[in-house]
């Protein structure tokens, strides 16, 4: 999978290739991340990417020409991508969208800045996506969030078991995790995790996930289709409530 980013701050986005799981995935050629500087596609000596808005108003607007010059270069060099614009006006980035985008072979993420981008650039945009209902100073952090989340779904980057178990794939929030020492600051690791009974551990973890989801994200709980483990866990939760 190739993920490309078009930005006026390439150094900001380059960082994502240097650390952790994403760095290893790039080194193992599981994903290719290319970052392009929009200013390299300007035609004036000042490498201008913005101008005053027609009709007046605050701030500056990103000029259309550099985007089209880049896009022509990109399509000729790498083929036609699925092009995303990060923006508060987009559809909300969530797990379903992560899975959908992780299946694309050639993804291009355009990072907005300033007051916005000239509307004619939307001609090359397939998808406008927002990482949340708030306004940032730039689209680079949203692009990095998307790269991180999407890369996790590319085969071979995260273990199949982890992806299957994780929140939003199970439809529940995650259960608590513990490691050594068995007691820390007077707090002990739950006994059930030390007994080696895998069925009991699975039920306990699912109980904790169900409890946390009911408390914090009842919307997720109400959408959930319950499997056999869910039902056993819910039964134990109800019994604890009743007794
Ligand atoms: N949230 C987000 N999810 O992805 N990108 C997000 C984001 O805030 N990007 C901002 C830099 C760009 C931007 C675009 C448009 C406007 S405007 N004039 O429409 O208010 C303001 C800011």
pLDDT by residue (tens digit) across 4-46?
999 999 999 999 999 999 999 999 999 999 999 999 999 999 9
CA of 88 relative to ligand 1 center, distance in Å:
4
Helix (H, G, I), strand (E, B) or coil at 161: helix
| pLDDT value, residue 159 | 76
Quote the ipTM score: 0.92
Burial of 129 (0-12, 13-18, 19+ CB in 10 A): buried
Pairing of strands 116-117, 106-111: unpaired
User: What does the pLDDT average to over 169-179?
Assistant: 93
| pLDDT value, residue 157 | 82
Strand partners, 33: 3
Structure tokens given for 239: 């019994």
CA of 8 relative to ligand 1 center, distance in Å:
15
CA of 131 relative to ligand 1 center, distance in Å:
10
DSSP 163-228: HHHSTTTSSSPPPP---S-SEETTEEPPGGGGS--HHHHHHHHHHHHHHHHHHH-HHHHHHPPP-H
For residue 200, give Cα distances in angstroms to 41, 166, 174, 193, 232.
60, 19, 17, 9, 10
Q: Probe ligand 1: pick from 6, 87, 97, max atoms within 8 Å of CB?
A: 87
Q: Is 116 in the pocket of ligand 1 (CB under 6 A)?
A: yes
For residue 103, give Cα distances in angstroms to 5, 57, 92, 99, 153.
17, 40, 18, 7, 9
Length, in residues, of the chain: 243
User: What does the pLDDT average to over 123-138?
Assistant: 97
User: What does the pLDDT average to over 117-126?
Assistant: 98
Q: Indicate whether 121 pLDDT > 80.
A: yes
Quick one: what percent of the chain has pLDDT higher than 70?
Answer: 97
| pLDDT value, residue 163 | 64
């Amino acid at each position: 999978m190739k993920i490309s980013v078009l930005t006026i701050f390439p150094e900001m986005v380059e960082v994502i290739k240097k650390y952790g799981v994403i760095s290893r995935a790039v080194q193992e050629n599981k994903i290719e991340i290319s970052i392009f500087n929009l200013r390299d596609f300007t035609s004036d000596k000042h490498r201008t990417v913005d101008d005053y808005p027609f009709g007046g108003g605050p701030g500056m607007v990103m000029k259309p020409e550099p985007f089209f010059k880049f896009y022509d270069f990109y399509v000729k060099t790498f083929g036609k991508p699925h092009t995303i614009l990060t923006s508060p006006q987009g559809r909300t980035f969530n797990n379903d969208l992560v899975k959908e985008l992780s299946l694309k072979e050639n993804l291009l993420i355009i990072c907005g800045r300033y007051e916005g981008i000239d509307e004619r650039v939307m001609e090359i945009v397939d998808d406008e996506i927002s990482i949340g209902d708030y306004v940032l100073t730039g689209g680079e952090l949203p692009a990095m969030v998307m790269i991180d989340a999407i890369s996790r779904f590319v085969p071979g980057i995260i273990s199949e078991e982890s992806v299957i178990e994780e929140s939003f794939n199970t439809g529940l929030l995650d259960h608590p995790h513990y490691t050594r020492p068995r007691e820390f600051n007077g707090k002990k690791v739950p006994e059930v995790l030390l007994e080696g009974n895998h069925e009991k551990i699975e039920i306990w973890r699912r109980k904790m996930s169900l409890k946390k989801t009911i408390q914090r994200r009842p919307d997720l709980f109400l959408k959930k289709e319950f499997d056999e483990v869910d039902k056993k866990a819910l039964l134990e939760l109800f019994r604890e409530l009743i007794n």
